[in-house]
Structure 1
Amino acid sequence: MKKILTASVIAASMTFTGCASIFSGSTQTLTFKSVPESANITITNKSDEKIHTGSTPATVTLKRGNGFFKPAGYEVAFSKEGFQTKKIQVTASVNGWYIGNIIFGGLLGLLIIDPATGAMYTLSPKDVNAVLETQQSAKVKGQQSLTVMLVQDIPTDVMDRAKYLTTL
């Protein structure tokens, strides 16, 4: 009788839990940095509602989901006087722990708990870094300059040419 009770408790706990909810939670903490430091940041959600305003460096906790089976998405605007405003998208993708519901048999976690809490998603990039370009460098034409960009912000055609050059 004791073995049946123990097995029942284990089976019930595996059925009524969500792997992503247990291991990841419904929120995620991201860091925001800029060059130069002390830039203003404004984080808005998909509905254009301001979620956070502050200055860099900053650590902000954001929701992973935006409703039942809806991933969250954010736009982060970096601004500072004398510099061009830079916007970076923070997007959500499926969390690896969500797949754990299939392996460990958490049907409720797979269909209800993780989707409802938003834990089925992971926000990326986890560390949001921006290099702000000066207003003056944007106005000066015909002079050499150096622009530092994130790989994800480089246009596809430029990246294809860069990959071609590395194979020579």
Structure 2
Amino acid sequence: MQKFLQRALAGLFLLVLVSGCASIVSKSTYPVTFNTSPSGADIKITNQFGMVMYEGSTPTTIPLAAGDGFFQKARYQVTISMFGYKSQTFPLEATLDGWYFGNLVFGGLIGMLIVDPATGAMWKLPTSYLQYSLSPSDQASLKIMSIDELPEHLRDKLEPLNEESITN
């Protein structure tokens, strides 16, 4: 029984020694939800090298990696655009995960120098939900609608088009 206990403790010690604390407790990819007011805006996310990571519309939830290489945190540019509204670009940057320093407490030198930096678990994304409010554009815009889409109270203000009104 004592031999089994010694082996179990030795195995536990080796597990702590070769594993990264942040890799065990934390994660390297985070789901981030993007929402806009009004919804339905176009969203484009690029990494620090300009590579498009996602293109779609809001609301959406996207898994984003917190690390971007050995000892490198991920940096993203989020661009939100919608017709009739000003386009907005925001940075989204990973920060150091506090669990990374758990390697010091548990003696995981390999975890601190190899495992967590290689997996990206030493980094975390600062938030899991982002809400953006779009501002109307200063530019005049034209919206072409079917008469079926036009509200009843505006239909009596319609004027017929003929060739004379188009050329004037």
- The TM-score with structure 1 as length reference comes to 0.78
Count of aligned residue pairs for this structure pair: 138
Q: Which of residues 136, 147, 151 in structure 2 aligns to 1:134?
A: 136
Which residue in the other structure is 2:75 paired with? Answer: 73
| Distance (Å, rounded) in 2 between the aligned partners of 1:3 and 1:75 | 52
- Look up the equivalent residue of 2:91 and give its one-letter code: Q
Residues 65 and 117, structure 1, Cα contact 8 Å, conserved in 2: yes
**After TM superposition, where is structure 1 displaced by more than 4 Å over at least 4 residues in a row?**
none
Residues 28 and 124, structure 2, Cα contact 8 Å, conserved in 1: no
Runs of 5+ unmatched residues, structure 1: 141-168
Secondary structure of the 1:28 match is: strand
- Offset of 1:125 from its aligned partner? 3.4
- Look up the equivalent residue of 1:34 and give its one-letter code: T
Alignment RMSD (CA, Å): 1.3
1:11-30 → structure 2 map (5 Å cutoff): 11-30=13-32
- Look up the equivalent residue of 2:15 and give its one-letter code: S
- The TM-score with structure 2 as length reference comes to 0.78
| Distance (Å, rounded) in 1 between the aligned partners of 2:111 and 2:72 | 15
Which has the larger helix fraction? Answer: 1
Q: Which of residues 22, 39, 42 in structure 2 aligns to 1:40?
A: 42
Residues 32 and 129, structure 1, Cα contact 8 Å, conserved in 2: yes
Confirm whether residue 94 of structure 1 aligns to residue 99 of structure 2: no
- Offset of 1:96 from its aligned partner? 1.0
Residues 101 and 109, structure 1, Cα contact 8 Å, conserved in 2: yes
Which residue in the other structure is 1:10 paired with? Answer: 12
Runs of 5+ unmatched residues, structure 2: 141-168
- Look up the equivalent residue of 1:94 and give its one-letter code: L
Identity %: 38
